[in-house]
Structure 1
């Protein structure tokens, strides 16, 4: 029943304090007991035990000890939060408390928002960013509209990077992961340039010489046909890289921090990221097939870290935009960002501003049936995202009972999208060279603009009782364009041409959304160590446009296929936070119930060959309990854990799509198609949402001790349990993921003053295979809505197998 443990032994430094690694709390000798933990869940510095929000905080010490350097690694240790890495579409499915966003559409922003140094990063491709040299991570559960804006209907992952400190600091680390044969190097230099100006430079680079997954595909002959001449031929599709993902990564960040007075703090952060893998769908595994073998290839299906994918035939790849000369599959992500933070403190008012520009570009070549066969479907894609945002906020700190926070946000965004699809051996020798081997290509863009105003008033009714109420108003516009400028004549009955006679070959959409998201919180703090709170919250997630969809020639309403409405949440949350036994024991309990209207659910409508974003209503309700115990009698030791119950169900999805191959006796018995004599819909009212286990929990312990001669030793172990769950958003029982336990552990040995350290860090030591998202295998399954239906192969987004990293670090 309960929210995830804080599991931090050091006070986290805020973005306006010295760097976390140089913080007073971290360098102080512990006397046992719990350390205070500072969070900014309400955009102000507060103890985690004083904030009326369900929040998990991870300190910089824990981040380093457990090598938490990505959104996926955060999820792997957090109950009720999962990340499914996808090859195309948005690139990820982030799910919290059973609420997440399908990965199929690049136009859908995540229900779980990622915020870095106060800036919103809503694209699923944020999982390709590497996060290191951090000051703090906060996981906020439930709607967070007031302080973190739109698109936070399920929660927020707030990441704060480290700042320069008052003293010089130099840090280096090299690591080696044995399974993937990955070498990782990090270097951080932080130094004051003057009494008021400091600089911090952080670099990270890594390279894999092996991989986590094995590709066991074999070469096959790929037949082609030239529709212009009728000539047939055959090309060879060789296996893709055997060891996947073969990742290469280079990350960098430069931070300048200026503090001319004790009232003014200004920071500028410039960062860049480069990430490349040898396959965009390297973690797609056919883990459950109706007959035990793939319907496309005949390979055995199963819960193993094995894939079956082939390169694009070389002559086709060389002609296709963004294809490699040798036909290799890949994913290449590049990004850069500049963020400016200013905080100015007057006697009773603090004014802050955050301004950011971010850019990223993602390219890939994909074996997009994810199980290469003679009828293979390959594609390449190039997509670019730009965003500028500026937020200004003022917070009063009067001695009286009333205080206010007011602010505004402006954001300007642009997405450009191009995709090139190779299908069924089609060729057209009369087409332009770049189109010769394409079935179709797409081009699309969306320009967005957002203006938001928000405010909160707090009233301290008496010293122990406070009422806070606020609202965010959001006005948003999006202008979008989509067309398929080339279609092979053999598929114009499926893909609507740009010059279609019905005038629907070019789709434009001008969307406007307006939303008010109010919330109110009542907080009672009868003693220093006890907090009781109750809150009513609402949230809003943007509607939009599916840039990567399909303009199907069989669809009467392509505009309706490509556009979708906003998602909204409302409900109640309450809890108790307590610190007991002379600051040795922390016990927290949280309960919640939220309704979701127009939950965005992606679906591929195979009869008309169209991607559609449908909407459904849902409810999540549950309870979360966490504890942490750090006895003074055993300095350096702590134990922590949580138990969580979450029930996430559709409440109104009466005409949901059937999953591929679903039979009438299995519920696919609505909306009979008279032309084909099959049913197409099912009633999912009361059915569970995808990736929504009812029970999750954690249990872990940490111990650090001086062992004499200027040396210290430490070890930690953390287990995470998940109940079984359906990974499909449409109730497919074949997608069920069984219950599992994930175990992480580490040991470390080094100097008492941290001048050097050797650490061994293991993750998923049980080597448990589990999936955090799923798709029906393309071109598998048949007879949907008929008694002869055959279920599709289930392709899961598998998480990492057992990994063990040896790290050596030094400070000087």
Structure 2
């Protein structure tokens, strides 16, 4: 399916044939006359019209990205139905959910079920939401399993981003903006053009700084009681409030692209990019939005669905000695990354050879108020994690003038994650420890080395001119070697944290995991006319098993290996759709239906009785219907009306020993006794962040107003029905139905020499959450006769924002 609120997507780079540059003028003329523009996508790693590809696709043009300031994964999700992004403080750093399928954020070792692909390269880490994406050529959101062309970890779908390439003529763009709510200034500069007849360059830079923030931190100072276990001395230190305005973000992004076309057959592109992003709190969007008594169990403040948080710094006396702590105890999140991608495409008479090689690196450091609502019983942590990935893919696509054509390819990937975390808990100190450990309860160190080999192929057969059958398979062989230990534990907590030299031999956990998978796919397509496509598909997908590097080796658990390792997630099912272009290319109507089963859906939770993070697996099913439309009447050139309505039912089909949420009573379902612990059976219960109904409706209009001026306006509404933010059936986590409104207005010259725009997002200032955790240190034990629920700490989204933007092009 398709939702497009803008004009044509002009493909560039190795995937695009040279003819597309020549198509730009006819498409521009068509837009000026009204009617729909032709849209091309690369959902099957080849250039195709969106109306010809048998895949459910939401495509967003470069024009719409700029018009609506869709410059991050979160902003893209906020305008896309059936896609949600929850920003988390620790663990993987995010929960990406599509059609109700996504993994909880608490484990850094779990890959996302929604794969993020940039310039043809897979980026699987949740921390990618800290990347800023700008100067884009297109965005494609592919729904449902996408293993054949995008590989592992695409069980729910793919967000595919393609950055812009050099232009044929010299071009400069500059843009400056100011966002009023957060007091954020942003500047962007792009220079593009040829260096010679065969070599082009594009340089893009963006920087921003906030003097304010989206959320208000209203915490007050408090005294944090301490006990030195070496001397028995009690004491107290002050924990001062974190900054009032959060997140106070600073950001610098850059990208350089070189594109070399020495012949009509060969295209070589190199893209090098870097990101620096820093905020004044890594859990700035955590809000106690629902508490059993209406007030926080830790501090007594009123819990509310508002853009307000309550968090305090690390005591300065602690922070100065703790690794990755700031001298004054400031909370923060600092993310750095860089990447280089080299793409080669060589066109023979009937075969196109493509190679994509990438190296990417990111490092994330933070200091966290890890109970997310600081109190005299607070706990804090700091963390440093680094991820490296090298990958190389080669594929060949035939274009014979014959009924049968092939695509074959292979992929090699090598990854490494290193992880270190330092935790302050219960006020316990130890003056006899090494200086860096004196104020710690425990610290963890872990790593995982991964290696992947994959081969894939697809055969397409034109049975008759109007019917095509395609079948393919991807084979994946993956190994992961992991290590975890807790090299220091405060002597007062040795009954909880298993030491590295524990006499039972379980103080060091290692894992050598091997996974093999075959993911087949088959599609039949019927195209009785140029303007109608009917398709049906059987798809499968695979997501890596692995190792929870940020877990806990609990002394209360007898199987730390099982706590820290988890099995692969797999999906299979069916999808069918109709894509139509009607009324002399003025109306698109696309309808799709799907049903997919998921085995070993990866779900992470904190098992408080044994003080351990555990990754469990469950079976689930999603099924739904999606209808999308776009109307561009020729009688009103420049007008575009668009909308969608989606029904999705996502439920567990088998989860007999699911964990209970904090304080859940036996009468509430926490009555299944597994060993010595109570669990619950979640069969038939909804998945996390899985609204049944979502939809959008919007309009955009651009017109000449005389004197060489262009005027434009757009407005979009996104609706979601209610859902549970918790994956464990906690009714307290329910997010009610909501609607958000984004709008923009702009005036500029027809030659794009200048433009003034105002861009508003979430204009109703609606607070809603896209994930939740049971508040640490709140609630009671599960499985009792009386309920004692925890506070719900939700991952809030952005409030109302209004940006004034000035841009020029010359």
TM-score range, shorter chain: over 0.9
Q: Measured at CA, do residues 704 and 163 of structure 1 come closer, stay the same or move farther in structure 2, by a change above 3 Å?
A: same
Aligned to 1:469: 471
Where does residue 342 of structure 2 map in the other structure?
Answer: 340
**Structure 2 equivalent of residue 631 of structure 1:** 633
Deviations 1:303-351 (A, max 9, x none): 0000000000001000100000010000000000000011110000000
Counterpart secondary structure, 2:767: coil
Other-structure match for 1:743: 741
Residue 598 of structure 1 corresponds to 600
Q: Which residue of 2 aligns with 1:652?
A: 654
Equivalent-residue separation in structure 2 for 1:230 and 1:254 (angstroms): 59
Q: Which runs of structure 2 are paired with 1:77-156 in the superposition (5 Å)?
A: 77-156=79-158
Residues 57, 595 of structure 1: CA spacing in aligned structure 2 closer, same or farther, 3 A cutoff? same
Distance 2:582 2:302 in 1: 55
Residues 1:486 and 1:22: Cα distance change in structure 2 (over 3 Å): farther
SS in structure 2 of the partner of residue 327 of structure 1: coil
Q: For residue 162 of structure 1, what is the aligned residue in structure 2?
A: 164
1:725-752 per-position Cα deviation (integer Å, ceiling 9, x unaligned) = 0000000000000000010000000000
Whether 1:803 aligns to 2:805 is no
Residues 765 and 25 of structure 1: CA distance in aligned 2, closer, same or farther (over 3 Å): farther
- Which residue, out of 408, 418, 421, partners 2:420? 418
* 2:185 match: 183
Corresponding residue of 1:30: 32
CA contact (8 A) 1:342 1:353 kept: yes
CA distance in 2, matches of 1:178, 1:164: 33
> For residues 491-530 of structure 1, what are the structure 2 equivalents within 5 Å?
491-530=493-532
Checking the alignment, whether the CA contact within 8 Å between 1:4 and 1:79 is kept in structure 2 is: no
Q: Is residue 2:783 matched to residue 1:785?
A: yes
> 2:769 maps to what in 1?
771
Superimposed CA distance per residue, residues 16-41 of structure 1 (whole angstroms, 9 cap, x where no aligned partner): 45899995467546110000111000
- SS in structure 2 of the partner of residue 657 of structure 1: coil
Paired residue for 1:303? Answer: 305
Secondary structure in 2 matching 1:224: strand
Aligned partners of 1:20, 1:762: CA distance in 2, in Å? 33
1:603, distance to aligned residue in structure 2 (A): 1.0
Q: Distance in 2 between matches of 1:530 and 1:191?
A: 39
CA contact (8 A) 2:470 2:524 kept: yes
- Cross-structure match for 1:693: 691
Query: In the aligned structure 1, how far is the partner of 2:183 from the partner of 2:367?
Result: 24
Confirm whether residue 229 of structure 1 aligns to residue 227 of structure 2.
no
**Of 23-32 and 556-565, the range deviating more from structure 2:** 23-32
Does the aligned pair in 1 maintain the 2:174–2:190 contact within 8 Å? yes
**4+ runs deviating over 6 angstroms:** 18-22
Deviations 1:526-559 (A, max 9, x none): 0000000000000000000000000000001000
Instruction: Give me the whole-angstrom Cα distance separating, in 2, the residues matched to 1:281 and 1:113.
Output: 23
The answer to whether residue 547 in structure 2 is matched with residue 545 in structure 1 is: yes
CA contact 1:12–1:39 (8 Å) conserved in 2: no
d(CA) in 2 for partners of 1:560, 1:672: 16
SS in 2 for 1:386: strand
Partner of 1:372: 374
Could you tell me which residue of structure 2 aligns to residue 220 of structure 1? 222
The C-alpha deviation readout for 1:451-471, integer Å capped at 9, x for no partner, is: 000000010000000000000
What is the aligned partner in structure 2 of residue 7 from structure 1?
5
Give yes or no for contact 2:3–2:60 (8 Å, CA) kept in 1: no
Instruction: Tell me by how many angstroms 1:561 deviates.
Output: 0.1
Conservation of the 8 A alpha-carbon contact between 1:703 and 1:714: yes
Q: Cα distance, 1:150 vs. partner? A: 0.3
Superposed CA offset, 1:564-588 (max 9, x none): 0000000000000000000000000
**Partner-residue secondary structure (3-state), 1:35:** coil
TM-score of the superposed pair, with normalisation by structure 2: 0.98
Q: Deviations over 1:675-720 (max 9, x none)?
A: xxxx620110000000000001100001000001100100000000
Matched residues in 2 for 1:767 and 1:159: separation?
28
Q: Which residue of 1 aligns with 2:717?
A: 719
CA offsets 1:209-231 (integer angstroms, 9 cap, x no match): 00000000000000111000001
Among 240, 244, 254, the alignment partner of 1:252 is 254
**Structure 1 residues 444 and 21, CA, compared in 2 at 3 Å: closer, same or farther?**
farther
Pick from 679, 682, 685: which aligns with 1:684? 682
Cα deviation digits, residues 57-93 of structure 1 (max 9, x gap): 1011111110110000000000000000000000000
Question: Is the CA contact 2:451–2:480 (under 8 Å) kept in the aligned structure 1?
Answer: yes
- Rounded Cα–Cα distance in structure 2 between residues aligned with 1:24 and 1:268: 27
d(CA) in 1 for partners of 2:27, 2:761: 25
Residues in 1 aligned to 2:734 and 2:21: alpha-carbon distance in whole angstroms: 41
2:624 alignment counterpart = 622
Report the Cα distance in structure 1 between the residues aligned to 2:797 and 2:752, rounded to whole angstroms: 33
* Shift, 1:787, TM fit: 1.6
CA contact (8 A) 1:384 1:417 kept: yes
What SS class does the counterpart of residue 800 from structure 1 fall into?
Answer: coil
Q: Corresponding residue for 2:482?
A: 480
Aligned length: 806
Is residue 758 of structure 1 aligned with residue 756 of structure 2?
A: yes
Cα distance in 2 between the residues matched to 1:23 and 1:381: 49
- Quick one: structure 1 residues 799 and 22, their matched pair in 2 at CA, closer, same or farther if it must change by over 3 Å? farther
Q: CA deviation at 1:262?
A: 1.0
- Could you list the per-position Cα deviations for residues 74-120 of structure 1 after superposition, in whole angstroms to 9, with x for gaps in the alignment? 00000000000000000000000000011000000000000000000
Contact 2:9 2:138 in 1 (8 A): no
2:285 paired with 1:283: yes
Contact 1:21–1:60 (8 Å) recurs in 2 = no
RMSD: 1.3
Q: Provide structure 1 residue ranges, at least 5 long, that are not aligned to the other structure.
A: none
Q: Deviations over 1:201-252 (max 9, x none)?
A: 0000000000000000000000111000001111000000110000000000
How far apart are residue 4 of structure 1 and its match? 5.9
SS at match of 1:99: coil
For normalisation by structure 1, the TM-score amounts to 0.98
CA distance in 1, matches of 2:181, 2:154: 36
CA shift for structure 1 position 789: 2.6
Shift of 1:12: 3.2
Is 1:794 the counterpart of 2:792? The answer is yes
Distance between the aligned counterparts of 1:709 and 1:486, measured in 2?
72
Deviation at 1:6, TM superposition (A): 2.8
Paired residue secondary structure (1:561): helix
Residue 438 in 1 paired to residue 440 in 2? yes
- CA deviation map 1:258-297 (0-9, x unaligned): 0111111110000000000000000000000000011011
